Amino acid sequence: MTDMTGWSVERLHEDHAQALRVTSVLYDSETEHQRLRVIENPTFGRVLTLDGVVQVTERDNFIYHEMMTHVPLFAHGAAKRVLIVGGGDGGMAREALRHPLERVTMVEIDAGVVDFSKEYLPAISDGAFDDPRLDLVIADGAAFMRETEGGYDVIIVDSTDPVGPGEVLFTDHFYGLAKRALAPGGILVTQNGVPFMQPEELRGTMRAFSALFGDTTCYLATVPTYAGGPMAFGWGTDGLARETSPSDLAARVAASGLDFGYYSAAVHSAAFALPGYVARLLA
């Protein structure tokens, strides 16, 4: 993060950066794990950055959170227990808890992210932290995965990028532990960055998943503040969730009575149609 006068600059690559105009800095401090900042931007509202990298914004977070929850949950069709690794802003829990789940366990390494998200970004969690079905655990997701008894129908890794505390969540070892923690037919989805800018991140996850799961792929969504093109979500399961017919998927979505800003049964199916430069990263 290098601030030009009145701008927050995120270096995405050695020769590519994204700048957001800063109308005010609402929060700026170091936790035990990372530097937290919340800035105000006229277009995106309040923006959370961790170590200078945009994590979530009030205006476009719905795209990311809808696509990482409703795609696996509607594909699964009967999920009861969900595990979220990371997700400290509460947006992933918000969207998951819209489904008739029994329990959502959220394992976040940095209590500081949760605490100040509740205070400075309440619209993102939108009451999720008060939902009695939510179990919030402050711990390293990798350590938790070693100890958990498992039985999760969907595991969502909503982590930072593979640097700092997030790095351990992109390892073959962690993915193996996550697979072990899945219930039969369970689905693992992972935040896998913007493949046009970070191809090796997706390639590494897909290589690890293909050694673990019968069904390995990724799906895409475009989130304006994750600059550089569509972002990828890793998908791994030994179940048949991706064989859900478009008509069954549409029926599940209609029966849910939920409305969305981005997700739909048609968008769900289309998200798995990969352009060549992404598909080649799966080979």
Binding flag, residue 140, ligand SAM (CB under 6 A): yes
Binding flag, residue 95, ligand SAM (CB under 6 A): no
Helix (H, G, I), strand (E, B) or coil at 144: helix
Binding flag, residue 141, ligand SAM (CB under 6 A): yes
DSSP 8-state symbol, 31? -
Binding flag, residue 123, ligand SAM (CB under 6 A): no
Q: Which two tokens mark 280? A: 């080649």
Binding flag, residue 166, ligand SAM (CB under 6 A): yes
Q: Which residues are annotated as a binding site for spermidine?
A: 65, 89, 158-161
Helix (H, G, I), strand (E, B) or coil at 43: coil
- Of 115, 126, 158, 259, catalytic: 158
What is the Cα–Cα distance from 263 to 241, expressed in whole angstroms?
17
Helix (H, G, I), strand (E, B) or coil at 155: strand
Which residue, 36 or 101, has its beta carbon nearer to ligand SAM? Answer: 36
CB 92 within 8 A of CB 69: yes
Binding flag, residue 234, ligand SAM (CB under 6 A): no
What is the Cα–Cα distance from 197 to 13, expressed in whole angstroms?
7
Q: At its nearest, how many Å lie between ligand SAM and the CB of residue 282?
A: 20
Active-site residue, 158 included: yes
Q: Which residues are annotated as a binding site for S-methyl-5'-thioadenosine?
A: 34, 108, 140-141, 165
What is the Cα–Cα distance from 95 to 156, expressed in whole angstroms?
12
Q: Which residues bind ligand SAM (CB under 6 A)?
A: 50, 55-56, 64, 85-89, 107-110, 113, 140-142, 158-161, 165-166, 168-169, 191
Looking at the annotation, which residues are catalytic?
Answer: 158
